[in-house]
Structure 1
Amino acid sequence: MIGLVFKELWGRKRRLAGSLIAVFLGVTFLTGTLVLGDTLAGSIDGYFSRAYGDTDVSIRNTTSVSDAPWGSRGQIDASVLDRVRKVNGVASAEPVIQGSGQLLGKDGKTIQSRGPRMAGNWLTDPKLNPYRLAQGRAPRAPDEVVINKMFADEGKLKVGDRTAVLTPDRVPVTVVGISKFGDEDAFGETSFTAFSLEGARKYVARTSDRVTGVWVRAASGVGQGELAARVRPVLAPGTEAVTGQGQIDESMSLVEDGFLRVFRIVLGAFGGVALLVAAFSIHNTFAITMAQRTRESALLRALGAGRRQVVTVVGFEALVIGGTATLAGLAGGYGFAGLLRQLFTQFRIGIAMEGLVVSATSLMIAVPVGLLVTLVAALGPALRASRVPPLAALREVAAETSGPSDTRVIVGGVLAAVSAGTVVLGAVNEQMAMAAAGAVLCVVAMVVLGPVAARPVAAIVGGPAARLRGVAGALARDNAARSPQRTAGAATALMIGVGVVTLLTVFIGSLRASLEDGVAGSFTGAIVVDAGGNETGGFSTRLAAEAAALPQVGGIAGIGKGEMRVDGRTAVAGVGDPSRLRGVLRLDVTQGGLADPGTFAVSKKIADDRGWRAGSRVGVQFADGARQTLTVGAVYKNAELVGDYLVPRTVWNAHTRQPLDVMALVHVKPGASSDDARQALTALAKPYGAPEVKTRDAFVTGQTADMNGFITVVYGMLILAIVIALLGIANTLSLSVHERTRELGLLRAVGANRGQIRSMVRWESVIVALFGTAGGLGLGAFLGWGLGTALGNPFAPPAVQLAVIALVGAVAGGLAAIRPARRAARLAILSAIAAP
């Protein structure tokens, strides 16, 4: 039996090449995404392993108000340093000061970055300091700084240059050194400006008796755990000692549970789509080849082979194909991961991924999945082949059934009704989980109903081809309609690929429209001073105070961002003066009011989730460890700009030494020119790092600009799924041409020329592609509406992008038919007629 399997494979190598390619591409995609996730995790782990130098123990504030590893912590009493230095086993201990510090470039503008923009003190112990000097010297005077090389290059700065650092006050400084983080130009995209200890105390900590923490190096022979235990008795309440390895593990855990988890899920979803599309291509190939081998299967049964043996033959074929393609896919995935790494590097995700990392877990996922997908895809055709009666060997049999069964129609109809209803209910009731469950059922229903819809849809879609291309078009339409299972099998793979692309396109379009509507609907002013979306970026709150005095400004309110714990949960809050914000924002207050500048307010969504209302008492904790009970003074609906929590500036500033605004919203005074106001604000903002002064429309558009890069990455990664689907169509057509060899010979014999044969095959491919594209567009648009509406977003499908998807699907169908059409046209007439 094994010899028979290899004989079948070798005898039909051209037919099964499509299956090999489909599995190979699917496994390549999956392996590449897994390896990229491993590489990113390894790179981040390497960064964190070097982030603390040779620190064995760090002393820090016990309060954490952020789920990010770089989240802010409050300062601690600097007197702990002297006590720690006296502990037995401490070889070295240095104070660490860190805070917001935005370096200005040669042009006087803030050097933009995706990572944190930090400032602190240069550690004099080279073993504790993760940075090393690449040029120049360490800072000695309070106005001297060392900057990392990435931002020296970005800002066109060199040793000896004068510039400034915003802390948030503007601090004129001299660059005396340029550092590197190990061998890297920076820690990811973190901008770190190092002052002397005196300078950091003066400009960053703003006090001499508080520090961010203390880093400790152990004496020879003292372990990290032992040193931490020795240090803890000298610590004051509210501080803790953490081992260096514990700090690394904690940071990696936060990244794994946050960014990396989402990153892996998204990449894995793309790999899953590619494998699902590949599975349909494989299934279609095996279905056709098994149908063509009906007499062969019957002969095996007539010679005494049992059903199990027939299934074993097909299963072993699938195993050989899956194993071969999976092994090749592993190698291909490694190369694909390299391409993805370059792609993400171009988009500057903030981490330089230097070398590819392959974990055993990724291999243990990719290999079984590749094999399992191939075996499952071949299972149905194998079972059908095993049911062929032995007498079928003695007579002509149809290769495939002519139409779908009644059971398929009933089951598919029920599934379609249930899934569509579930999506609608989830959307109407804003239940995302329900809508997502309905979406999965919709895909299943689409697969089941594909053969049912194939014949009427092929007849409708092929109508124009019959009118435009005459006999060739009519034959193409009839060929697509007479084998609905084959047509549906080829189209379903493309339908899934197009459906996912359409779903994401509609979903992102709806999300963009929601953001634009929310921002445009809430902001009533004309100008925005925008510092960008960096979490540690911003400008001094004095800018808004000074701008209020300009003759062109009728009203202005600054908005800051900050992290804290609300009711025990980490939260990002908007910070500002509520009484001023109500003059430039339409927050749609439903309870209470914002007239008092000391009002603490929450969004209606949060109030409903927590059961709060105006007058509710809420416990909060700030980064410095202080706890306070705030009273909800207002509940508002529109949270796009201020977030779910609005903390009064007077309350917030009591717990930070570096108050920042990330934007200032401006009303132009009646009678004043908007252009004049923009010019005046631009001039005023120059000393503050020159944040952008935008019109209202430009600001609204900019709020969704970051989505464009994500969309590009999504489309680029999903192209592979569509390529696999088109290979499936091409493979189906090639098998179809082989099956219809005699029919094609007869067409040539009765007068059809080669051009007509080519046209017939091409149009058949276009009909199949249009069927898949139309189904994918409809399914994707429906699911995009359901999932978007479940999140409260308006339905805003981008017409241009959807039109492009439809056009690409039609054109791709023609491209998929090039090779099968050429082979069909080159068949020798007499040999084709004589074919069995």
Structure 2
Amino acid sequence: MRRIALNGLWAHKRRLAGTFLSVFLGVAFLAGTLMLGDTLQRNFERLFGEVTAGTDAVVRSTTRIDDDAGPGQRAPIPASTLARVRAVDGVAAAEPSIEGRGTLIGADGRAVGRDGPPKLAGNWIADPRLNPYRLAEGRAPRTGDEVVVNRGAADDGGLRVGDEATVRTPEPVRVRIVGIATFGSSSGVGATTFTAFSTAGAARHVMKRPDAISSVVVRGEPGLSQAELVARLRPALGSGIEAIAGDRLAAERVDDIDQTFLDGLRTVLVAFAGLALLVGAFTIHNTFAIVAAQRARESALLRAVGATRRQVLGAALTETALLAAVASLAGLVGGIAIASALKAMFDAFGFALPAGGLEVSATSALIAVAAGVVVTLLAGLAPALAASRVPPLAALRDAALEGEEGGASVRQRRSLTALARGARAGGARAGGARAGRSRRRRPLTALVRGATALIAAPLPRLRGTVGTLARRNAIRSPRRTARAASALVVGVTVVTAITVVGFSLQRSLDDSAARSFDGDLAVTGGEFEDASLPPALARELAALPQVATAVGLGSGSARVDGRNGVYANADAAALSRLVDLDLRAGSLDALGRGALAVSADEAEQRGWRVGSPVAVVYPDGARATLRVGAVYGEEGIAGDVLLPRAAWERHAPQSADRTIFVSLAPGVGEAAGKAAVERVAERWGAPETQTRQEYVDAAGDGVRMVLSIVYVLLALAVVIALLGIANTLALATHERTRELGLLRAVGQTRGQLRATVRWEAVVIALLGTTGGIVLGLPIAFLLTRLGDAVGIETFAVPVAQLAIVLVVGGLAGVLAGVRPARRAARLDVLRAIAAE
């Protein structure tokens, strides 16, 4: 039986080509995803291990505020800590480290760096063994207006040694680039930018105070272990300050990137890979079901000559397992190309990932191959069981799939009639069971038949006889049509659900911006409203004669009531003159240093009301208890918590705005007002100035970018689904060889035959696309009802986008039908007529 299985697989290799591709693509996507995760993990481990190799210990604050957007930040420590560390026995070298934010402006006047990765600034560490950066060109900074930038930032911004540039910290600082550096052996940490001042320059522009630093990096004497060095440092440190080993620092940095970036990236990509495998499972099951039905006579002959059901089942499963193993191993190799393609895709959308050689772990390879084999075996199990249940008597008749579904030949119908009579005479009970199963299938069959007839109704008028034949071919075998369309239904359902949810989120953000923003202009820090605008810019804009009011809205990391996060801060009374926050309780005018405002949803979740005390930890580690002074309903702009600007600026060294809202003076036109604002903003690093309508339209830009990436990832699942349609039509062509030969014999041209098969593919594709849209809409509705946490307030259906999905589905059907149509047209007429 093993030899029969091998021969059967080889004999039907063309029929199983589509299944091979489905398994191959699904496993390749999964393998590529896992490879990309392994590569990034190993690159970061190697990179941080390399750059911290000379650091034996780090002295830092114990207060750390995490957030979802990055590894968080620690409170600064007194600059006097440096002298105490240097005095510890066993310390060979100790250098201050200052870390903060700094947006480098490139030669084209735009901010350097991609959307998402941090834009950092700090000091150049003099000891090369303690400095993670290595000078590649130029020299170290000596004065407060000299800087070194990482090579990736210099290349991206078109900057060279000797150029003058601007760095927003957030105030614009005019600097001269005196050096280009690498991060270890890399141009940087992904698309992160780093600008290094001298220590004095960083204290002035980044830390904003000379008496504080971020940390102290320490190198021990030769022969002194890191653990011993840390033990000696601890007694010299004050309260709230700790010392950790350099190895732990490297591990923490890798863990931070895992938690804030890699884990999320892997989860999303694996989810899409799982979807591709799921869609592939439908195609695999469909193919094996059709092949098993077409080989029913072969299975019956095996039973007739003595093969047991177990042997027939074993042979079928052996074929399936061999196909699964070969396709999965090939998919593992294909994963290399997929991993490179995924990285290129993220680079193209502005989310640059660190470069490095491809890494493949044994665990990831095993997971990918095992997933492909298991999914294929599960998808092929039911057809294999069906093949093992074919009775030996079936060898005496033809047993094609079409006969099973109402399209049998006269000879088949006669055989079936005779068998039915015998069944009634010897086993009415079994016949009743089969009839019951048929009745249970009838509603779904009728639904598919009716939907197919409706979709294909225009074909006779559009294409005449060709259209009529295509329509009848799709209608007469509804089970086969449903099987062919099932994979596409799954893919389009997900596409529809994500499209509608994304559109609803965009509409909610747009509506929120339109509803709450009452001003005329908005100055933003970037596409994702990066908090990098100096608060002084708002004050200078407010002084313009063309401007009536200008108020900044900032954001930053803090801990509110024990929860770390990024929270908004502003002068609430001034903000309320330009932004309608939908006040529910309290007063925004009365907010000062001792009070904050919260959204109604946040107040309900945390049990707050006006007057409730709230514990806050600021970025510098300072702790305060504020009271709830106001509760508002509009959280689209201000978020869940609005901290007082007066208190925030005292405890955030780099207080910055993400948006500055502007209302124009009476009689000032929009164009004139915008020009005046842009002239001032030009001196502050040229942030983008938008009209009210432009600001509203841009509210959902981040969602649109994410959706673009999602659509690219979903494309593979749709491609696999279309392969399923093509494979089904190819198998159906083999199945209808005699019928096609008769059509050619009575005068149908090859072109007409190709058109018939292509139009049948279009009908199936439109059925799958329509079914996916119909199923995706209610799923999307349920998701939007559960989406209040991400700001989805409105359920909106993008009719135009879904119409495009439908049209693309039809066009894809044309492509899916090309290969089966060509194969059908190449059939030899005489051989086709003589076929059984």
TM-score scaled to structure 1, two decimals? 0.91
Q: Among residues 647, 651, 673, which one is paired with 1:651 in the alignment?
A: 647
Tell me the secondary structure at the aligned position of residue 683 of structure 2: helix
Note the 1:492-641 alignment, pairs <5 A.
Answer: 492-532=486-526, 537-598=531-592, 599-641=595-637
Provide Cα deviations, 1:665-715, integer angstroms capped at 9, x if missing partner: 011122222222212211222222121221011122223223343333222
- What do the CA deviations read for 1:735-759 (whole angstroms, capped 9, x no partner)? 1111111222233334434333323
The farther-off stretch of 165-174 and 696-705 is: 165-174
Aligned to 2:462: 468
On the 8 A contact 2:134/2:182 being kept in 1, the answer is yes
Do the aligned partners of residues 211 and 471 (structure 1) sit closer, same or farther apart at CA in structure 2, a change above 3 Å counting?
Answer: same
Q: Which amino acid aligns with 1:89?
A: G
How far did 1:61 drift? 1.1
Compared CA separation, residues 602 and 53, structure 1 to 2 (3 A): farther
Worse-superposed segment, 92-101 or 578-587: 92-101
Per the alignment, do residues 834 and 351 of structure 1 end up closer, same or farther by CA in structure 2, a change over 3 Å counting?
A: closer
Query: Equivalents in 2 of 1:823, 1:533: separation in Å?
Result: 51
Matching residue of 2:325: 323
Question: Distance in 1 between the 2:579 and 2:320 partners?
Answer: 63
Q: Does 1:688 align with 2:690?
A: no
Pick which of 269-278 and 152-161 moved more: 152-161
In the other structure, the counterpart of 2:425 is: none
- Give SS of 1:354's match: coil
- Matches of 1:589 and 1:11, distance apart in 2: 75
- The structural deviation recorded for 1:560 is 0.7
- The whole-number CA distance in structure 2 between the counterparts of 1:408 and 1:362 is 44
Shift of 1:200: 2.2
- Structure 1 residues 141 and 814, CA gap change in structure 2 (3 angstroms): closer
One-letter code aligned to 1:195:
F
Question: Do the aligned partners of 2:531 and 2:554 also contact (CA within 8 Å) in 1?
Answer: no
- Compared with structure 1, are the counterparts of its residues 460 and 164 closer, same or farther at alpha carbon in structure 2 (3 Å cutoff)? closer
CA distance in 2, matches of 1:270, 1:473: 37
Give the 3-state SS of the residue equivalent to 1:822 in structure 2: helix
Within 2, Cα distance between the matches of 1:594 and 1:669? 23
Quickly say closer, same or farther: Cα 1:207–1:745, change in 2 above 3 A.
Answer: closer
In 2: Cα distance, 1:825 partner to 1:747 partner: 11
Amino acid at match of 1:726: L
| Separation in 2, partners of 1:164, 1:491 | 57
* SS of 1:352 mapped into structure 2: coil
- SS in structure 1 of the partner of residue 620 of structure 2: coil
- The 1:601–1:406 alpha-carbon spacing in structure 2 relative to 1, beyond 3 Å, is farther
Match of 2:429 in 1: none
Q: Is the 8 A contact 1:100 1:536 kept in 2?
A: no
Higher mean displacement: 290-299 or 402-411: 402-411
Which one of 738, 757, 763 corresponds to residue 742 of structure 1?
A: 738
The match for 2:395 is 393
SS at match of 2:401: coil
Write the distance in 1 (CA, Å) between the matches of 2:53 and 2:441: 63
Q: What is the Cα deviation at residue 24 of structure 1?
A: 1.0
SS of 1:478's equivalent?
helix
Alpha-carbon offset, residue 60 of structure 1? 0.9
Contact 1:95/1:211 (<8 A) preserved: yes
- Answer yes or no: is the 8 Å Cα contact 1:28–1:331 preserved in 2: yes
Alpha-carbon deviation of 1:142?
Answer: 2.6
2:70–2:260 contact (8 Å) kept in structure 1: no
Distance across 1 between alignment mates of 2:831 and 2:119 = 75
Aligned to 1:320, what secondary structure does the other structure show?
A: helix
Greater Cα shift, 327-336 or 475-484: 475-484
- The DSSP-based 3-state class of the residue aligned with 1:539 is coil
Please state whether the residue corresponding to 2:93 is helix, strand or coil: strand
Partner-residue secondary structure (3-state), 1:142: coil
Give the structure 2 partner of residue 363 of structure 1.
Answer: 365
**What's the secondary structure of 2:812's corresponding residue?**
helix
Where do residues 76-91 of structure 1 align in structure 2 (5 Å cutoff)?
76-91=77-92
Contact 1:53 1:129 in 2 (8 A): no
Q: 1:737 to 1:127 in 2, by over 3 A?
A: same
Cα distance 1:169–1:814, how it changes in 2: closer, same or farther (>3 A)?
Answer: closer
Measured after TM superposition, the shift of residue 70 of structure 1 is 4.3
What is the aligned counterpart of 1:670 among 666, 670, 676? 666
* Counterpart for residue 444 of structure 1: none
Distance 1:671 1:55, change over 3 A: same
What RMSD over aligned residues (CA atoms) do the two structures have, in Å? 2.3
Secondary structure, counterpart of 1:584 in structure 2: coil
Selected match of 1:203 from 183, 202, 205: 205
Distance 1:106 1:325, change over 3 A: closer
Superposition deviation, residue 537 in structure 1: 4.4
More deviation, 122-131/553-562: 553-562
- Give the distance between the partners of 2:199 and 2:758, measured in 1 at CA: 74
State the AA in 1 paired with 2:268.
V
User: Who is 1:214 aligned against?
Assistant: 216
1:445 aligned partner: none
Instruction: For residue 156 of structure 1, report the CA deviation from its aligned partner.
Output: 3.8
| Matched letter for residue 525 of structure 1 | G
Alignment counterpart, residue 312 of structure 1, candidates 301, 304, 314: 314
| Residue correspondence of structure 1 range 176-191 to structure 2 within 5 A | 176-191=178-193
| Paired letter, 1:667 | S
Q: 1:123 aligns with which of 125, 129, 135?
A: 125
What is the CA–CA distance in structure 2 between the aligned matches of 1:409 and 1:615, rounded to whole Å? 67
Gaps of 5+ in 2: 407-433
Secondary structure of residue in 1 paired with 2:73: coil
The residue number in structure 1 matching 2:417 is none
Contact 1:409/1:452, CA 8 A, preserved across alignment? no
When structure 1 is superposed on structure 2, of 760-769 and 164-173 the one drifting more is 164-173
Distance 2:442 2:95 in 1: 70
Q: Structure 1 residues 565, 316: CA separation in 2 closer, same or farther (over 3 Å shift)? A: same
Contact 2:71–2:260 (Cα < 8 Å) also in 1:
no
Change (3 A) 1:100 1:707: same
- Corresponding position: 1:42 with 2:36: no
Q: How has the CA–CA distance of structure 1 residues 683 and 750 changed in structure 2, closer, same or farther, with 3 Å as cutoff?
A: closer
State the 1:318 CA deviation.
0.3
Structure 2 partner of 1:439: none
**TM-score, structure 2 normalization:** 0.91
Between stretches 531-540 and 128-137, larger displacement belongs to: 531-540
Pairwise CA distance, 1:511:
1.2
Mean CA deviation greater in 312-321 or 741-750: 741-750
Query: Which residue does the alignment assign to 1:232?
Result: 234
Q: 1-side partners of 2:441 and 2:374: how far apart? A: 26
Instruction: Output the CA distance in 1 between the equivalents of 2:768 and 2:70.
Output: 45
- What is the rounded CA distance, in whole Å, between the counterparts of 2:108 and 2:25 in structure 1? 48
Aligned to 1:712: 708
CA distance, structure 2, for counterparts of residue 322 and residue 395 of structure 1: 32
| Residues 745 and 350 of structure 1, relative CA distance in 2, 3 Å threshold | closer
- What's the counterpart of residue 100 of structure 2? 99
1:344 is matched with which residue?
Answer: 346
CA distance in 2, matches of 1:822, 1:202: 73
* 3-state secondary structure, aligned to 1:667: strand
Counterpart-to-counterpart distance in 2, 1:769 and 1:292:
23
Kindly indicate whether the alpha-carbon contact (under 8 Å) linking 2:51 and 2:184 is maintained by their aligned counterparts in 1. Answer: no
Q: Which residue of 1 aligns with 2:56?
A: 56
Q: For residues 215 and 802 of structure 1, what CA distance do their matches in structure 2 show? A: 56
Corresponding residue number in structure 2 for 1:420? none
| Deviation by residue 1:769-807 (Cα, 9 ceiling, x = unmatched) | 111111112222332232123214322232332222111
For residue 755 of structure 1, the aligned residue among 751, 758, 762 is 751
Q: Which residue number in structure 1 is paired with residue 485 of structure 2?
A: 491
Q: Which residue of 2 aligns with 1:294?
A: 296
Tell me the residue number matched to 1:259. 261
Partner SS for 1:72: strand
Q: 1:494 to 1:69 in 2, by over 3 A?
A: closer
Distance in 2 of aligned mates of 1:7 and 1:163:
71
Equivalent pair of 1:44/1:351 in contact (CA under 8 Å): no
Change (3 A) 1:661 1:508: same
CA contact (8 A) 2:568 2:642 kept: yes
Consecutive unaligned residues in structure 1, runs of 5 or more: 414-448
Change (3 A) 1:467 1:261: same
